[in-house]
Amino acid sequence: MKNYLVLSILVVLISLLPFSISKAYAVTYDLKDQMSCQAISGTWSNSTSTCVLSSFTLNSGDLLSVDNSAFPNLSLEVIDTIDNNGGTITSSGNIIINNSGIFNNGGTVINYCTGACIGGTIQNNGIITNNKGATINTNSTINNNGPINNSGTINNNGTIDNVGKLTNNLGGIINNSGTIHNNELSAIINNGGIINNYAIVISDVGGTITNDGTIKNMCGATLTSNGDLLGTPVDNIPCNTAQKSSSSVAEFPFAMPILVISFLSVIIFYKTKK
C-alpha closest to that of 143 among 102, 109, 177: 102
Mean pLDDT, the chain, as a whole number?
85
Predicted confidence at residue 200, as pLDDT, reads: 98
Return d(Cα 36, Cα 42) in angstroms, integer. Answer: 9
* C-alpha–C-alpha distance, residues 30 and 65, integer Å: 5
Q: Tell me the pLDDT band of 161, cut-offs 50, 70 and 90.
A: very high
∠ CA 202-208-214, rounded to 5°: 75
Is 262 exposed, middle or buried (CB count within 10 Å of its CB: 0-12, 13-18, 19+)? exposed
Least confident of 15-29, 116-130, 160-174: 15-29
Q: pTM for the complete prediction?
A: 0.80
The dihedral built from the CA positions of residue 217, 222, 118 and 58, taken in this order, carries a sign that is positive
Q: Which residues pair with 28 in a beta bridge?
A: 63
**Above 50 in pLDDT, residue 26?**
yes
pLDDT at 209 over 90: yes
**pLDDT score for 240:** 80
Q: How confident is the model at residue 115 (pLDDT cuts 50, 70, 90)?
A: confident
Q: Quick one: pLDDT at residue 119?
A: 72
Residues 156-184: what's their mean pLDDT? 98
Q: pLDDT digit string (tens) for 43-94?
A: 999 999 999 999 999 999 999 999 999 999 999 999 999 999 999 999 999 9
Band the pLDDT of 3: cuts 50, 70, 90: low
Give me the phi and psi of 118, to 5 degrees please.
-85, 125
Parallel, antiparallel or unpaired: strands 43-45 and 50-58: antiparallel
